[in-house]
Structure 1
Amino acid sequence: MIRSELIQKIADDNPHLTQRDVEKIVNTIFEEITEALIGGDRVELRGFGAFSVKEREARMGRNPRTGEPVEVEAKHVPFFKAGKLLRDRLNGKA
């Protein structure tokens, strides 16, 4: 599902909201999650999962085309851990 499909689904399920309002809501939620992660916070959505940021250390990589060693800088990457309820639903237990 892509963002526009999510917006359309929510708008269809909530006829009292306009599609423009739903789009603002979805964009605000994503923006707040992004800002929290940028600030180093963890975002937990009960029953769904938690978003956090992990730090990857610098390392030596390899150019796949030439095979030459390449230095890869340290970086922060987003990480998602599914909640128990989501895992159980995916595995048909709930």
Structure 2
Amino acid sequence: MVRSEIISKLSKRIHHKLRKKDLEKIFKIILSTIIQGIKNNRSTELRDFGRFSTKELKDKIAINPRTGDKFQSLQKKSVSFKMSMELRKRINEDRIKN
């Protein structure tokens, strides 16, 4: 699902009380808030959905798959996502019922 689909679904669910442009602004604010928290090494939790956090990837020797050349990959940050138990249950509902 892409951003525009999410905005359209939100618009339909709240019965056009907010314009799509307003929903887009709200969505951008939410995303930028999450991103800012992650950039500042703060874990960001959305209840019943999951938790975003950063983790440090250490320097390592990597191999270019096209050329086979080895190179030094520098330390960098990566984003980790851990889904909540509620999300895990909802994803697997069909499996449990069958």
RMSD: 1.2
Measured after TM superposition, the shift of residue 12 of structure 1 is 1.3
In 2: Cα distance, 1:19 partner to 1:81 partner: 30
Equivalent position amino acid for 1:67 in 2:
G
Provide the TM-score with structure 1 as the length reference: 0.95
Structure 1, residues 11-56: CA drift from partner, whole Å, max 9, x if none? Answer: 1111111101100110000000000111110100111000000110
Provide the TM-score with structure 2 as the length reference: 0.91
2:13 is aligned to 13
1:28 is aligned to 29
- The share of aligned pairs that are identical, in percent, is 36
Structure 1, residues 41-86: CA drift from partner, whole Å, max 9, x if none? Answer: 0100111000000110010000111111111111001111100000
Gaps (5+ residues) in structure 2? none
Equivalent position amino acid for 1:48 in 2:
F
Q: Map residues 57-72 of structure 1 onto 2, 5 A cutoff.
A: 57-72=58-73
In 2: Cα distance, 1:54 partner to 1:81 partner: 12
After TM superposition, what 4+ stretches of structure 1 lie above 3 angstroms from structure 2?
Answer: none
